[in-house]
């Protein structure tokens, strides 16, 4: 069964850093675009970042550009989101999603990030 499992969320102070992980099973990250989407408490869905199959193309939302970096480890079939200089407005559930291009076809369960002092 195709599955995505996120981890690495938690409570962090403003200005701090976190690295989220997304472990994929039953398919290879090499063959798909992969995306991060976040959802603030009680709010809608907001796309954050994506990366193509070979990692040569990466895109970021303006709100996280320069602070977040997406990467992958093919040997571990895992994608990462390094989040630096975190702000209160980054508080959200972060979902890892497999993409058929920009069609978001398999969603993980999400990991919660809380930025607060």
Q: Which residues make up the interface to other proteins (CB under 8 A)?
A: 35, 37, 44-47, 50, 59, 61-62, 95, 100-110
Closest CB 13 distance from other proteins, rounded Å? 27
DSSP string, 22-74: EEEESS-GGGSEEEEEEE-TT--EEEEEEE-TTS--EEE-TTTTTTEEEEEEG
Residue 30 vs 63, nearer CB to other proteins: 63
Residue 1 vs 117, nearer CB to other proteins: 1
Closest CB 22 distance from other proteins, rounded Å? 12
């Amino acid at each position: 069964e195709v599955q995505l499992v996120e981890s690495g969320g938690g409570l962090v102070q403003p200005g701090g850093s976190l690295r989220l992980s997304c472990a994929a099973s039953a398919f290879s990250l090499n063959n798909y675009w992969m995306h991060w989407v976040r959802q603030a408490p009680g709010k809608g869905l907001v796309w954050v970042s994506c990366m193509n199959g070979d990692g040569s193309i990466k895109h970021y939302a303006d709100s996280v550009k320069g602070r977040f970096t997406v990467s992958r480890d093919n040997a571990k079939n895992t994608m990462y989101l390094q989040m630096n200089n975190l702000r209160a407005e980054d508080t959200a559930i972060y979902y890892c999603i497999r993409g058929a291009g920009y069609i978001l076809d398999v969603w993980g369960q999400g990991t919660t990030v809380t930025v607060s002092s």
